[in-house]
Amino acid sequence: MHVYILPAQRFLSCHVCEGNVFAQREIKMNTTGMSFFDLDWLNKSADGVICVRCGFVHTFMGGAHQWVPMDQVKPEDLPADPLDGAAPSAEGPV
């Protein structure tokens, strides 16, 4: 899926690899006090936005983002992906 960032009014690109396809996972925001008393289940949750290319996890709290199915996004609306269609280089950066 793609992730639309509401305050910036643009789609998210990964901070590491600039990919634009993400998976979703709930992330518990554990605190020392709640863990000490074995009350981790009372901690707040965040939305984990995981880049499917590199695995980097972006974490969002609140409603500043929304998930958009891939078939509902025009390719020209997405940020440019410098690795789109490019094979990874074995030599690394030059």
CB of 68 within 8 A of CB of 9?
A: no
Better-scored residue on pLDDT, 31 or 81 = 81
Domain limits of the chain? Answer: 2-64
Q: What is the pLDDT of residue 41?
A: 62
Residues 49-65 pLDDT 10s? 999 999 999 999 888 89
Better-scored residue on pLDDT, 32 or 66 = 66
Model confidence at 33: pLDDT above 80 = no
CB of 10 within 8 A of CB of 78?
A: no
Q: What is the pLDDT of residue 84?
A: 77
Model confidence at 92: pLDDT above 60 = no
pTM recorded for the entire structure:
0.72
- Contacts with 29 (C-beta within 8 Å, 6 or more apart), sequence order: 43, 44, 45, 46, 61
Rounded mean pLDDT, 58-81:
90
> Which CATH number fits the domain 2-64, given the four candidates 2.20.25, 1.10.287, 1.20.140, 3.90.1690?
2.20.25
Q: What is the pLDDT of residue 90?
A: 53
